[in-house]
Amino acid sequence: MAERSAPVGVMDSGVGGLSVLAEIQRLLPNESLLYVADSGHVPYGEKTPDYIRQRLRHIAGFFHQQGAKAMVLACNTATVAAVADLRERYPHWPLVGMEPAVKPAAAATRSGVVGVLATTGTLQSAKFAALLDRFASDVQVITQPCPGLVERIEAGDLASPMLRELLAGYLQPLLAAGCDTVILGCTHYPFLRPLLAGMVPAEVAIIDTGAAVARQLQRLLGARGLLAEGPARATRFWSSADPGNLENVLPLLWHTPDSVQRLPM
């Protein structure tokens, strides 16, 4: 039986999930958090679902060993590939996955055209197709895979001319089609909000699901009587690549410089 004071495990292929970790910490400041960046295997976006499932089994096993009371897949690509597999393996463990914000975007658009920026893996998945069928039958959805963006963000690049050019190419078809709502369907992309804001017309809304995931975690923990009463312990970080790489980028994307441990093989 898990305890209220047990930590919550949050993972991503790399640093993207920090955008979700920040929302969780804002909403649930009493929770102790563990963060795994699977940086030795990033990007997930171009990997096979089977490969990603194997990685997620390993990371879920690690969180289990650490005594985590819940796990958050702060990664859209990992969710489409692996959340069903993990739910089967751990039927009693609260697991929160994420999906692009198609439902709120379809409700909010006035032009009737919505754009989705995400990884190839997310956009090609059956789960994403089902999401469109369910919530977007009345709107036009323009999907845009964005290879290369994740690698730039992993390197701590949030504003270089090269990144701007890459992003401009990905935004162009969305804006040309008349999108007034752009969904950030990858947890790395919220770090590009400042750059994006200067690249789309002011009336274009940019949305992501980090805050919704934090609320879902709150609901799941609350329903099981597992919300922590605090105080939270310091967040702990692991990486499956050289911990020094993540330590270098953390101060840019996270509020405190933290030390990072190597994720056991």
Residues identified as active-site: 75, 186
Task: Tell me the closest approach of the beta carbon of residue 262 to ligand DGL, in angstroms.
Answer: 19
Say if residue 189 carries a ligand binding annotation. Answer: no
**Contacts with ligand DGL, residue ranges (CB under 6 A):** 12-14, 16, 42-45, 75-77, 119, 122, 150, 186-188
Q: Give the nearer residue to ligand DGL in terms of CB position, either 12 or 23.
A: 12
Q: Give the nearer residue to ligand DGL in terms of CB position, either 78 or 228.
A: 78
Say if residue 187 carries a ligand binding annotation. Answer: yes
Say if residue 76 carries a ligand binding annotation. Answer: yes
Q: Could you tell me which of 174, 188, 101 has the C-alpha nearest to residue 142?
A: 174
Phi, psi (degrees; rounded to nearest 5) at 35:
-125, 125
Say if residue 77 carries a ligand binding annotation. Answer: yes
* Dihedral sign for Cα atoms in the order 250, 253, 257, 261: negative
Q: Give the nearer residue to ligand DGL in terms of CB position, either 35 or 180.
A: 35
Task: Tell me the closest approach of the beta carbon of residue 12 to ligand DGL, in angstroms.
Answer: 5
With 0-12 / 13-18 / 19 or more C-beta atoms within 10 angstroms meaning exposed / middle / buried, residue 26 is exposed
Q: Give the nearer residue to ligand DGL in terms of CB position, either 33 or 227.
A: 33
Structure tokens at 199: 């690249």
Helix (H, G, I), strand (E, B) or coil at 117: strand
With 0-12 / 13-18 / 19 or more C-beta atoms within 10 angstroms meaning exposed / middle / buried, residue 256 is exposed
Q: Report d(CA 7, CA 68) in Å as an integer.
A: 5
Task: Tell me the closest approach of the beta carbon of residue 253 to ligand DGL, in angstroms.
Answer: 12
Angle at 68 between CA 64 and CA 70, to 5 degrees: 105
Residue 218 · residue 28 · CB < 8 Å:
yes
Say if residue 13 carries a ligand binding annotation. Answer: yes
Task: Tell me the closest approach of the beta carbon of residue 3 to ligand DGL, in angstroms.
Answer: 30
